[in-house]
Every structure is written in C-alpha cells, then in structure tokens.
Amino acid sequence: MDFEPIQLERAEVYHQHLKQTPQAASDYSFANIWGWAREYGLEWAFSNDLVWLRQNSPRPVYWAPVGPWDHIDWASVFNQNDLGPGFTRVPEMLADLWRQQTGDMLRIEEDRANWDYIYDVEELVTLRGNRFHKKKNLLNQFKKQNTYHYEPFSVAMIDQALALQDDWCTWRDCEDSDVLSAENRAIQRVFVYWDRFPELLGGAIMVEDLIVAYTIAEPLDQDTVVIHFEKGCPAHKGIYQAINQMFLESLDGRFQHVNREQDLGDEGLRKAKMSYHPVRFNQKYRAIVKS
C-alpha cells in the first residue's frame, strides 16, 4: 500500500468509503482525521475497496480501515500485507468480523479509553427527571444570569471563536498539557479550512455580542451527530450545560443520538461524560498481529 498525506481534495472519495462502513465511530469523520492529521502523523492509502489509515506519531499503528468491511476477505488481507504495527480504535463490528475470519492470527483487546459515548438527543434537550436535575439547574442559572442569544455557527464567527479558544487555553494552561495543546492546534486547523467542510454544523452563545461558548459538530450517519469541539467561558456558570442543550435543541429533531467521543482514559472527563447518562457506548478494540 502506498501511503500519502491526507488531502482535502480527496475528501469526497473518503466520504463515499465512510458511507459504506457498517459502524461509524467518531474517529473516522473526515473533519476529525484532517484536524488531527499533523498531531498523529496520519496518512492514508486507497487499496482493495478500503481506505487504510496509518498513524506515525508517537509510534506507528494502523487505525481501522474504512469501507465495506463485510465484503472483504480478511484472512487474505492479513496474509498478504505486513500489518505488524497492529491496530487501534477498531470498532466492535469490525473486531467481531476479524475474530470470525482470521482465526488465531490476531490478539484483540478491549480499548476502553477510546469508547464513544452515545446519548439520546431528546433526553439532553429536555433534561427531564431527577437524573438531570443538576444539569437543568445549571442551565437555568445561566439563562437567569445572562442576557444572551444562540446563533448557528457561521464563517463570520471564526475570528471570535479563535479568540475564545486562545482565552480558554490561557485559563486551562494548554502550554503545560500536550493533550490540550494538540487539541488547540487541531481546532485551529479545522477553523482555518472551515469553508472546505460543508458538512460541519455548530452553534454559539452570544453575550453582549461576544461569543462565550461554541460547539462544532458533524453528522456521523443519518441517526447520529458527533460533537468534535465544545468550549465555553468559565466566568459564566452553566455555560457548558447551555451550549450543549441549545445546540441539540436547534437541530429540531434531525438526529436521534449524539456521539460525544471518547474520554481517552481521563478520569475527570469520564466522570463528566457519565454524568450525562449515555444510552450506550461504541466499543472499540486494539488488534495485534501475532508473530
């Protein structure tokens, strides 16, 4: 396979392969692989009706190939290619196919840190019941304490969103965190090329004509929208509950589920994601080719 840098010009070809993928995970949206391409050293190769993704940093490893998994003779693929670095972020359906078709060629292990959190959109819009009592209180506090309005995200907002992102990095000391610094660069890369991603959705909350929160999202399939980035000004209590609820409400029933991506093994992030009561997880696995 001939790997090359991910190119904006081939985005539509990639989208066609992604539409044929039986289980869509947040990692594999085009905006995600483009935004994070430099951080992970991502490359792709088009071979055997699949798009192969290879990560080179901090170490070589493959991501799951994208395309019609159930039409592939996986035993032949693994026999004919040197896939020694192994795989990460392998969705459950593909892991099951590999178990069925490759015998003892692979060792497949659970990768809990990369599981996607899936939520019911209606639940996060209405915030009904005791489970969401604290979230609804924080949302109401934001509404009572601020003169605000919500707007769909547009290209005209990018400069303000980048300014909020810079401020957010100052508040969170991004320079002292490799993870937050990498995320900041990925966000900036997506904003710079915003007009090349017509599928992106988003919203912003304005207070005194300044953005105090924004969210950037993308349809993952007909049923699910994935939230890529979500940032808010901590001076406004309840700001995250507000941007989450208002954005999903603005979608007006277009999606049944929202995918809020992984926790990457961070206990604080895991607690925060669990507090919104996911209805399920998109489980993912590591796969190691046995020598």
Mean pLDDT by groups of 10 residues along the chain of 291 residues: 95 95 95 96 95 97 97 94 95 97 95 98 98 98 97 96 96 94 96 94 96 97 96 96 98 97 95 97 96 77
For residue 223 the two structure tokens come to 């049923």
Question: Is 4-115+285-289 assigned to CATH 3.40.630.30?
Answer: yes
Residues in a beta bridge with 63: 88
Which superfamily is assigned to 116-261 in CATH? Gcn5-related N-acetyltransferase (GNAT) (3.40.630.30)
Fold match flag (4-115+285-289 vs 116-261)? yes
- pLDDT, residue 48, reads 82
Amino acid at 157: M
- pLDDT, residue 283, reads 98
Residue boundaries of the structural domains of the chain: 4-115+285-289, 116-261
Question: Can you tell me the distance from the alpha carbon of 289 to that of 79, in angstroms, rounded to the nearest whole number?
Answer: 10
Question: Can you tell me the distance from the alpha carbon of 120 to that of 257, in angstroms, rounded to the nearest whole number?
Answer: 5
CA angle in degrees (0–180, nearest 5) for 275-276-280 = 110
How would you write the chain as a 3-class SS string? CCCEECCHHHHHHHHHHHHCCCCCCHHHCHHHHHHCHHHHCCEEEEECCEEEEEECCCCCEEECCECCHHHCCHHHHHHHCCCCCCEEEEEHHHHHHHHHHHCCCEEEEECHHHCEEEEEHHHHHHCCCHHHHHHHHHHHHHHHHCCEEEEECCHHHHHHHHHHHHHHHHHHCHHHCHHHHHHHHHHHHHHHCHHHCCCCEEEEEEECCEEEEEEEEEECCCCEEEEEEEEECCCCCCHHHHHHHHHHHHCCCCCCEEECCCCCCCHHHHHHHHCCCCCEEECEEEEEECC
Question: Can you tell me the distance from the alpha carbon of 38 to that of 32, in angstroms, rounded to the nearest whole number?
Answer: 11
Question: Can you tell me the distance from the alpha carbon of 99 to that of 74, in angstroms, rounded to the nearest whole number?
Answer: 10
- pLDDT, residue 191, reads 96
Tens of pLDDT, residue by residue over 129-142, are 999 999 999 999 99
pTM over 0.85: yes
